[in-house]
């Protein structure tokens, strides 16, 4: 006898059919993975062996694991222990037999069963036979069912096949179709979703679909893939027209920049279409890159968000914020420089106005009676100038031209970063120094200069010490004591010996009489100091 053949009812068979009665999901025997337990059917499907047979998958790479109740074909093949010393044979199973032509399942449970009353080993049957009592089969129906853990579905339909197709279909409505542009002279019950488009007959198309969501069809009627209704699908077309419904209709910029060739080509062309309720790209180790020859269009009915933990950078010859935007944005560093220069010019103008004299018939006039107002405006202007730095964004940055920043912009950025590092370290930023060119009409420190800015505050116009510092400040312009001093002044009354010479300084002897240098307290001899004034910086 040929050991590769199966002996059944005295006859030899190379391939026999068997019903699957159990599937080994455990993988405990690593030399017999994907194995099943079967019962062989008889030559006519009514007789068979009463022994259980273990069989392994015939193909190691492409597997169609049967369920309990399905029928497979068994054939013998060599075992893993074959050698020149000897050979052995064991059973291997094929894909389930398509008994019901269903892609979902082809179970026929109990087909290998033999009624107990017909079993030769049944002692009752032997006794009845001896007594001349014939046996009757009263029930031709098996009480067995398919695998109880297998959820049967009624909404899984087979795909309509077209000329030359190769189709892989899963049990649950997933599929891979290798097809082509069809010759439209042949009619099919379900026409193909794709049309000729820009392709020729025979151009390949590949469709991967998961979850067809077909409705209103009878059992085992053909269906087809659809990018608008499938749970998820990938379409790889070679010129074919594959229509789909865009999830967002808000496309003003896409249309304006002509990034909509899919519409102009009527959805035809060499293309890849991904369709689902959610699409996620996740580059776990390296980059996620998108290149395009004509354009990249993004559209959403709600929002488009870009998050970059370090930076979000956009580079182009022109960047429009808004459809066909026309107004240019201001450069932060250059705008700050311009605003600082403007404030300096205005400050010089106000200082000049306080010492303005006009020739008259009896000689030069005195200073304007609005000098205190000019001084007040000047101090507020300086305060405003200090706030210019806060106009800069620490989030958004722009370049003047494409291809990167200028050297000046790089230097400004370095300066900003150094300042910010000091702030982050809890250090005060560099202070603005008092100018030695301040006029006598301008209130100043008792020790005017470019290095030291502390101690007593002196108004040379009134020959008055109006406050003291308890710590350094950026400049005298921003002291609350000066603001309070101006507020308390009902009118500017310059002394009779008032001079407009900008080099006027406070006499050191008078200073000693006015201020106690050891304690920093103001002398009682000076009555014009506000006793209620707590001098503090008025900086932010």
Q: Give the pLDDT confidence score for residue 462 in this predicted structure.
A: 62
Mean pLDDT (whole number) for 448-471: 55
The C-alpha atoms of residue 321 and residue 339 are separated, in whole angstroms, by: 25
- pLDDT band, residue 9 (cuts 50/70/90): low
pLDDT digits (tens, 9 = 90+) for 271-299: 999 999 999 999 999 999 999 999 999 99
The C-alpha atoms of residue 535 and residue 480 are separated, in whole angstroms, by: 6
DSSP string of 444-458, one letter each residue: EETT-SSS---SEEE
Mean pLDDT (whole number) for 42-53: 58
- First-to-last C-alpha distance (Å) of the chain: 104
Within 13 Å of residue 150, how many CA atoms lie on the same side as its CB? 19
User: Is 497 a member of any domain?
Assistant: no
Placement of tokens 């009878």 in the chain: 218
- Whether residue 10 is found in the same domain as residue 108: yes
Number of domains in the chain: 3
User: Is 387 a member of any domain?
Assistant: yes
User: Is 442 a member of any domain?
Assistant: no
Q: How far, in Å, are 235, 467, 506, 513 from residue 509 at the CA level?
A: 95, 18, 9, 6
Tell me what percent of the residues of the chain surpass a pLDDT of 90. Answer: 35
- pLDDT band, residue 514 (cuts 50/70/90): very low
Mean pLDDT (whole number) for 320-347: 89
Mean pLDDT (whole number) for 7-32: 84
Contact 173, 211 (CB under 8 A): yes
Q: Give the pLDDT confidence score for residue 538 in this predicted structure.
A: 37
User: Is 505 a member of any domain?
Assistant: no
| Tokens, residue 529 | 């100091």
436 closest CA partner among 524, 360, 503, 340:
503
Q: Which of 140-149, 219-228, 236-245 has the lowest mean pLDDT?
A: 140-149
Q: Give the pLDDT confidence score for residue 474 in this predicted structure.
A: 46
User: Is 365 a member of any domain?
Assistant: yes
Placement of tokens 């389930």 in the chain: 96
Q: Which of 99-108, 440-449, 474-483, 502-511 has the lowest mean pLDDT?
A: 502-511
The C-alpha atoms of residue 239 and residue 127 are separated, in whole angstroms, by: 77
Mean pLDDT (whole number) for 333-344: 90
User: Is 34 a member of any domain?
Assistant: yes
- pLDDT band, residue 19 (cuts 50/70/90): very high
- Whether residue 113 is found in the same domain as residue 21: yes
- Whether residue 98 is found in the same domain as residue 194: no
User: Is 465 a member of any domain?
Assistant: no
CA 128 vs. chain centroid, Å, equals 79
Q: Give the pLDDT confidence score for residue 1 in this predicted structure.
A: 52
Tell me what percent of the residues of the chain surpass a pLDDT of 70. Answer: 69
Domain containing residue 16: 6-118
pLDDT at 459 over 50: yes
pLDDT digits (tens, 9 = 90+) for 465-476: 666 655 444 444
Q: The whole model's pTM is what? A: 0.68
pLDDT at 3 over 50: yes
The C-alpha atoms of residue 197 and residue 415 are separated, in whole angstroms, by: 59
Contact 276, 226 (CB under 8 A): no
User: Is 488 a member of any domain?
Assistant: no
Q: Which of 118, 135, 152 finishes a domain?
A: 118
- Whether residue 97 is found in the same domain as residue 189: no
pLDDT digits (tens, 9 = 90+) for 368-402: 777 777 777 877 887 788 788 888 888 888 988 88
- Whether residue 183 is found in the same domain as residue 105: no
Burial class of residue 514, CB neighbours in 10 A (0-12, 13-18, 19+): buried
pLDDT digits (tens, 9 = 90+) for 402-441: 888 899 989 988 988 888 888 888 876 655 555 544 444 4
- Whether residue 339 is found in the same domain as residue 417: yes
Q: Which of 374, 409, 424 finishes a domain?
A: 424
pLDDT digits (tens, 9 = 90+) for 135-167: 444 455 556 778 888 888 888 999 999 999 999
Q: Which of 118, 142, 176 finishes a domain?
A: 118
Give the helix/strand (H/E) hosting 466: strand 464-468
Q: Where are the alpha helices (DSSP H) in 9-133?
A: 123-130
Mean pLDDT of the chain: 77
The SS3 of residue 175 is strand
523 closest CA partner among 446, 427, 461:
446
């Amino acid at each position: 006898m040929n050991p590769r053949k199966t002996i059944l009812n005295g006859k030899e068979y190379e391939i026999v059919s068997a019903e699957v009665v159990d599937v080994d999901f455990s993988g405990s025997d690593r030399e017999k993975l994907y194995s099943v337990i079967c019962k062989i059917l008889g030559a006519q499907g009514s007789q068979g062996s009463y022994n259980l047979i273990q069989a392994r998958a015939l193909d190691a790479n492409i597997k169609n694991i049967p369920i309990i109740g399905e029928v497979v074909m068994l054939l013998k093949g060599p075992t893993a222990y074959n050698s020149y010393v000897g050979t052995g044979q064991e059973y291997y199973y094929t894909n389930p037999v398509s008994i019901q032509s269903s892609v979902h399942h082809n179970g026929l449970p109990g087909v290998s069963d033999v009624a107990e009353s017909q079993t030769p080993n049944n002692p009752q049957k032997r006794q009845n036979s001896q007594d001349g009592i014939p046996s009757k089969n009263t029930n031709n129906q098996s009480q067995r069912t398919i695998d109880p853990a297998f959820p049967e579905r009624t909404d899984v339909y087979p795909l309509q096949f077209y000329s030359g197709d190769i189709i892989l279909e899963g049990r649950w409505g997933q599929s891979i179709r290798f097809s082509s542009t069809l010759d439209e002279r042949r009619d099919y019950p379900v026409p193909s979703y794709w049309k000729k488009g820009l392709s020729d007959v025979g151009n390949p198309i590949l469709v991967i679909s998961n979850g067809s969501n077909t409705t209103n069809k009878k059992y085992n009627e053909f269906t087809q893939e659809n990018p608008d209704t499938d749970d998820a699908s990938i379409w790889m077309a070679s010129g074919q027209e594959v229509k789909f419904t865009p999830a967002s209709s808000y496309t003003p910029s896409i249309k304006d920049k002509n990034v909509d060739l899919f519409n102009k080509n009527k959805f035809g062309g060499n293309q890849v279409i991904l369709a689902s309720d959610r699409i996620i790209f996740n580059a776990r180790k390296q980059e996620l890159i998108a290149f395009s020859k004509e354009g990249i269009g993004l559209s959403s009915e709600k929002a488009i968000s870009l998050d970059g933990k370090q930076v979000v950078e956009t580079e182009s010859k022109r960047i429009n914020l808004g459809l066909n935007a026309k107004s240019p944005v201001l450069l932060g560093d250059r705008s700050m420089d311009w605003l600082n220069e403007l404030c300096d010019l205005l400050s010089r103008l106000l200082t000049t106005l306080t010492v303005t004299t006009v020739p008259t018939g009896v000689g030069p006039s005195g200073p304007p009676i609005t000098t205190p107002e000019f001084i007040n405006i000047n101090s507020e202007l300086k305060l405003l100038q200090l706030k210019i730095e806060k106009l800069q964004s620490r989030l958004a940055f722009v370049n003047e031209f494409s291809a990167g920043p200028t050297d000046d912009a790089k230097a400004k950025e370095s300066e900003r970063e150094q300042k910010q590092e000091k702030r982050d370290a809890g250090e005060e930023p560099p202070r603005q120094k008092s100018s030695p060119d301040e006029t006598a009409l301008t209130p100043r420190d008792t020790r005017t200069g470019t290095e030291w800015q502390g101690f007593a505050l002196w108004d040379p116009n009134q020959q008055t010490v109006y406050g003291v510092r308890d710590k350094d400040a950026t400049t005298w312009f921003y002291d609350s004591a000066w603001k309070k001093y101006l507020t308390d002044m009902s009118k500017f009354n310059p002394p009779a010996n008032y001079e407009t010479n900008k080099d006027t300084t406070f006499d050191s002897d008078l200073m000693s009489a006015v201020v106690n240098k050891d304690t920093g307290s103001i002398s009682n001899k000076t009555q014009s100091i506000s006793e209620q004034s707590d001098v503090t910086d008025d900086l932010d």
